[in-house]
């Protein structure tokens, strides 16, 4: 049940094992989730089943001027998208590819600056050059997924904003997922981030999911009943499914096979029914029509 064990500190103080940079809990999103839990928002239900979600995804790749031709190629991006699409299709979410664009710019290719809101969940800005890049490339609404790959992200491997209710349209350009290219499907980063699940994990955040280890063994965790409480699991290349129990006084064992854990790519393979419900609830309540 949990978002991460590291808190709003400088990037240099964050754990080198951390996959995501944005980790806090948004009180406004939690309120929206509670409204769904209490049945306040149910207009998208179809005969008791969640309505299918349709999302268009755009991919952006920022590279150095001297990058080799095999740096995050369109073929690699397309393969990564297909994995993303096939995974989310299992949970009633249909993704279509809107386009792939490349930006050759030595400054933008390294994402080294981002400002976070006080809850450590939402990016509020970056350098002028990077903000201009996002504004130039961001299209659509809060229903439109934008994924950015960089040569490097200083201090982390990836992050994706937890969606915040009532964000103004002027902030569209701040909504998206940002990843280092070495977590892209096909990169030789075995056994940890070679199989492309980092993007699946980050898009889970885009749909409103927290980490399964949110809050550790205390509190409300990730606000989902079928993800047992746990503490953060390092991506050490092992998959101790059913045997790792970091909260032994609470029901269940660590979900090391869940996409919202930090275990290695070969381990992560599923969302729970509760996580599917959460993604649908958040999309219709917070993203849809905005």
Contact predicate 261/254, CB 8 Å: yes
- The one catalytic residue among 143, 202, 218, 220: 202
Helix (H), strand (E), coil (C) string for 93-148: EEEEEEEEEEEECCCCCEECCEEECCCCCCEEEECHHHHHHHHHHCCCCCCCEEEE
Contact predicate 232/217, CB 8 Å: no
Question: Does the annotation count 75 as an active-site position?
Answer: no
Catalytic residues: 202
């Amino acid at each position: 049940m949990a978002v991460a064990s590291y808190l709003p500190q400088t990037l240099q103080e964050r754990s080198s094992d951390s996959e995501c940079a944005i980790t806090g809990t948004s009180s406004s999103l939690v309120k929206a989730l509670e409204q769904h839990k209490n049945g306040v928002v149910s207009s998208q239900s179809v005969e008791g089943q969640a309505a299918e979600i349709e999302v268009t995804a755009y991919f952006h790749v920022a590279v150095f001027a001297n990058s080799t031709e095999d740096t995050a190629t369109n073929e690699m991006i397309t393969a990564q998208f297909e994995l993303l699409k096939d995974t989310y299709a299992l949970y009633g979410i249909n993704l279509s590819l809107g386009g792939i664009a490349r930006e050759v710019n030595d400054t933008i290719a390294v994402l080294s600056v981002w400002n976070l809101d006080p809850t450590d969940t939402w990016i509020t800005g970056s350098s002028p050059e990077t903000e201009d890049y996002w504004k130039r490339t961001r299209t659509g609404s809060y229903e439109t997924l934008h994924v950015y790959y960089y040569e490097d992200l200083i201090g982390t491997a990836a992050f994706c904003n937890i969606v915040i209710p009532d964000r103004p349209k002027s902030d569209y350009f701040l909504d998206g997922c940002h990843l280092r290219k070495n977590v892209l499907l096909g990169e030789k980063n075995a056994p940890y981030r070679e199989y492309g699940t980092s993007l699946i994990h980050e898009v889970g955040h885009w749909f409103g999911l927290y980490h399964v280890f949110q809050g550790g063994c205390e509190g409300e965790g990730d606000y989902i009943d079928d993800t047992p409480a746990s503490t953060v699991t390092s991506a050490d290349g092992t998959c101790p499914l059913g045997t790792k129990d970091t909260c032994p006084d609470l029901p269940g064992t660590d979900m090391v096979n869940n996409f919202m854990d930090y275990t290695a790519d070969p381990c992560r393979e599923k969302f729970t029914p509760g996580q599917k419900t959460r993604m649908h609830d958040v999309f219709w309540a917070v993203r849809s029509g905005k």
